[in-house]
Amino acid sequence: MGTTDDGSGRSRTATSGQVSGAPEAVGAAGADGAAGADGAQAVPVASEAAGAGGTAADGTAADGTAAAGSGSGAGQPRARINHMPNAGTPQAEAISAGRREMLSDARRNQIKSLAERGVKRPRIGADAVCEALLRQGVELFFGYPGGVVLPLYDVLGDYPELRHILVRHEQGGAHAAEGYARATGKVGVCLGTSGPGATNLVTGIGDAMLDSVPIVAITGNVVGSLLGKDAFQEIDITGITLPCTKHNYLVRDANDIPRVFAEAFHIARTGRPGPVHIDLTKDALMGACSAQTPETVDLPGFKPNFDGHPRQIKLAAQEIARAQRPLILAGHGVLIAEATEELREFAEKAQIPVAHTLLGVSAMDETNPLSVGFMGMHGWKHVNKTIQSADLLIALGMRFDDRVTGHVPTFAPYARIIHVDIDPAEIGKNVAVEIPIVGDVKRVLEALIPLVQRVEPETRAAYFAEIAGWREESEKMPWHGSGAWRDGQLSADYVVSHIAEATNHDATMVADVGQNQMWTARYGGFRRPNSHVSSGGLGTMGYGLPAAMGAAVGRPDKETWAIVGDGGLQMTVQELMTLVQEHIPLRIALLNNHKLGMVRQWQELVYAGNYHSSHLLGPDWLKLAEAYGVAGFRASTPEEVDSAIAAARAVDGPALIEFIIAQEQNVFPMMPAGKGLSDLLEEQFEEPNR
């Protein structure tokens, strides 16, 4: 195996990769002598010397039929029929070459021959991908190999700085990239092959789109000449991802790769973050590449506005000065903008309580007296009552999701609204507002804080006392924090709060979707920014385990817990093997109620107890964990919880705890569908306010 230096200081192995336009005899078109991707003439491969329509030494055509003039039957020659559409045209020749390229490894054998003679391996598109990832600061990515992306895996060993984590399903890779991005603030990267490999990524891509998570999803596709021919594992993945990405690319030329990757990462992380998809044809990955990464990225059509309009900010300060019952609604945008310190400074100067959305959890230390908690459909009663009684709402980086507002005509009926968001499309989309401010939350707060009058705590003493009274009333409900719920059965809120206490409220807690998600948001007691991760907009069951895996590898300095239900875990349980193979020390808290819990809750409370398909059989989780090589523990009473948590934390590697919780425990309060924040259910079968 020969290696040489390519001039960049990197040693390239000549046996790695697929080449077009190689120094000695390698083209991209195949044995028929058609021009390669770089315009070079291909050298015939001996085993394919018959070409597209020639004859071999035995008198047969390349497809094995008798050639014209070879004789058949009564000695009459048989004419060979070419069924290739538009046979003889350049288009037909390109398609034939592409099909041979997909099926033949002849040219890679030529590369091997070059290596044996010590000839340098040229730089190809696959190299450009690896170089672009490193240039963007990527340390690891989550992938699953397949036919058309094998050229990339063929050169990946030449880039030891890039850690590849082999997931067990592409959806797991996409969610892992999301979890990595959410925990680190960096762009997450995932990779899949063409066809089903690409479509398996789509749920994670859509999840990232709705939750403003910066990821770059890379897929492979068939060679360019076969696009649209329904070749094996070909699918129009760019068409599929168009509505659920910030932008997507179809790359057919290796020399476009450096520019496309620079643009993709810029788009993913700039302004309102989100997913970008890059689809690479196989010939782009194999083609010779001479292009370098551009020094700067200039996209005239993509210029997000970061600084709020000064006039609007002054108007906001005036509204705040007049308000008697103001409330801040902190969303995911506060965390994305890294504006948690500015939020605290602003709230403390103006003495304004802070509520948070589901994705805004951890935007403020929940021990801060100004933090009132989680709002919305399953949020705290005192938070929702504060929204309904407020005279001013200051919405920061949130989009007034229906799970926050409920029936919009009944939402915050006495409040004027200031809405700050970097995406102008979100302002006025769901809720009409009085003062819109388009800009980055951090920069807007930096401009607003000097204009806001300092308010002494005693000025709002009566307001805060009323909120505290509502909170005390809410926390006295029988479904809150009891540990033992109905005849000694273990309650989920008790488990979540004890995990938080055991980890000193410093662990990253990644929730799945459903009841476990609401219990985590309500009882996690978050104190550190980005210590809470969950699927918000898309609400993707199965998200918890792979997203926690990504968060754990992204922040190895922080303990990571996945809080999951038995329904969601069964959707992506195969990633347990990834944890073992990569030795990722993730702790998994399985809240097992043998139900699709939120479905069962809705069937009980909304559909008059008409249960159907919500009882869920599952495996013996400890045996399953053992089969994967994961340490397993079980707790079914409050007395067993702390010891199980301690045992899992002591494991050097992944661990799973099955907490057997009450099957009928519901998440309260609950805002029924079509109702508002004043219409909360707090007991089984309680009728909402009319």
Specify whether the backbone of 223 is left (phi greater than 0), alpha (psi in -120 to 50) or beta: beta
CB atoms within 10 A of CB 136: 19
Domain extent listing, the chain: 1-52+89-118, 125-286, 321-469, 478-660
The two structure tokens encoding residue 139: 């340390």
Nearest to 272 by CA among 198, 330, 209, 322: 209
Mean pLDDT to the nearest integer, 390-411: 96
170 labelled catalytic: yes
Mean pLDDT to the nearest integer, 107-132: 81
518 labelled catalytic: no
The two structure tokens encoding residue 23: 């120094």
pLDDT in tens, 580-609: 999 999 999 999 999 999 999 999 988 889
Residue 25, pLDDT > 60, answer: no
Mean pLDDT to the nearest integer, 556-566: 98
Q: What is the pTM of this model?
A: 0.85
In 3-state terms, what secondary structure has residue 596?
Answer: coil
pLDDT in tens, 125-160: 999 999 999 999 999 999 999 989 999 999 999 999
Residue 240, pLDDT > 90, answer: yes
282 labelled catalytic: yes
Residue 561, pLDDT > 90, answer: yes
Annotated catalytic residue within 282, 381, 442, 595: 282
Query: Using 50, 70 and 90 to split pLDDT, how confident is the model at 110?
Result: low
337 vs 485, which has greater pLDDT? Answer: 337
Provide the β-strand partners of residue 565. Answer: 591
Mean pLDDT to the nearest integer, 385-396: 97
Do residues 657 and 633 touch, judged by C-beta distance below 8 A? Answer: yes
- Cα–Cα distance, 421 to 334 (Å, whole number): 10
The reported pLDDT for the residue numbered 143 is: 98
Query: Using 50, 70 and 90 to split pLDDT, how confident is the model at 231?
Result: confident
Mean pLDDT to the nearest integer, 534-559: 97
Percent of the chain scoring above 90 in pLDDT: 73
Nearest to 531 by CA among 498, 505, 554: 505
Query: Using 50, 70 and 90 to split pLDDT, how confident is the model at 489?
Result: confident
Percent of the chain scoring above 70 in pLDDT: 85
Least confident of 108-117, 382-391, 426-435: 108-117
Mean pLDDT to the nearest integer, 527-547: 97
Q: Give residues with Cβ within 8 angstroms of 214, minimum separation 6.
A: 181, 186, 187, 188, 208, 268, 269, 273, 274, 275
Nearest to 344 by CA among 362, 358, 359, 332: 362
689 vs 537, which has greater pLDDT? Answer: 537
Do residues 381 and 355 touch, judged by C-beta distance below 8 A? Answer: no
Query: Using 50, 70 and 90 to split pLDDT, how confident is the model at 225?
Result: confident
Annotated catalytic residue within 170, 178, 263, 582: 170
Annotated catalytic residue within 518, 598, 670, 671: 598
Distances (CA, A) of 444 to 27, 51, 307, 313, 394: 56, 66, 6, 7, 12
The reported pLDDT for the residue numbered 46 is: 35
- Whole-number average pLDDT of the chain: 87
pLDDT in tens, 49-102: 333 344 443 444 444 444 444 445 567 888 888 877 888 888 888 877 777 776
- Residue 574 phi, psi dihedral angles, 5° rounding: -60, -20
Annotated catalytic residue within 48, 84, 139, 232: 232
CATH architecture of 321-469: 3-Layer(aba) Sandwich (3.40)
The reported pLDDT for the residue numbered 132 is: 97
- Tell me which CATH homologous superfamily contains domain 478-660: Thiamin diphosphate (ThDP)-binding fold, Pyr/PP domains (3.40.50.970)
Annotated catalytic residue within 18, 110, 136, 233: 233
Do residues 514 and 377 touch, judged by C-beta distance below 8 A? Answer: no
The reported pLDDT for the residue numbered 82 is: 82
The two structure tokens encoding residue 120: 């340098």
CATH architecture of 125-286: 3-Layer(aba) Sandwich (3.40)
* 478-660 has the same fold as 125-286: yes
- Cα–Cα distance, 221 to 676 (Å, whole number): 47
Do residues 346 and 418 touch, judged by C-beta distance below 8 A? Answer: no
633 labelled catalytic: no
In 3-state terms, what secondary structure has residue 661?
Answer: strand
The reported pLDDT for the residue numbered 488 is: 76
The reported pLDDT for the residue numbered 124 is: 93
The reported pLDDT for the residue numbered 481 is: 60
Mean pLDDT to the nearest integer, 198-205: 98
The reported pLDDT for the residue numbered 224 is: 78
Do residues 443 and 306 touch, judged by C-beta distance below 8 A? Answer: yes
